[in-house]
Amino acid sequence: MINIPKFEGAIRSAGLTQRTLSTEMHMSENTFSTKKIRGTFNIAEVQWLCMRLGINTPEDKCDIFLVPVSQ
């Protein structure tokens, strides 16, 4: 799962939009949104997103992309 509020905050802090990121990742905005909601970005995509959004510390990466699924 992805911490969507923190992820969206990182996008805004970088001065970008979901549309811009989806275009740069060569996917539709709908696909990007689905991957965000389902937490299905692959490792290469997460690494690229961290680089593009300036998410540098391991703690920040984990807080956004490694949110445990609640039972």
pTM, full prediction? 0.91
Burial class (CB in 10 A: 0-12, 13-18, 19+), 57: exposed
In a domain, 71, yes or no: no
56: containing domain = 4-65
The pLDDT tens digits for 1-47 are: 899 999 999 999 999 999 999 999 999 999 999 999 999 999 999 99
Number of domains into which the chain is organized: 1
Distance, CA of 65 to CA of 36 (rounded, Å):
10
Distance, CA of 67 to CA of 61 (rounded, Å):
10
In a domain, 53, yes or no: yes
In a domain, 70, yes or no: no
In a domain, 40, yes or no: yes
Distance, CA of 63 to CA of 34 (rounded, Å):
20
Distance, CA of 33 to CA of 57 (rounded, Å):
24
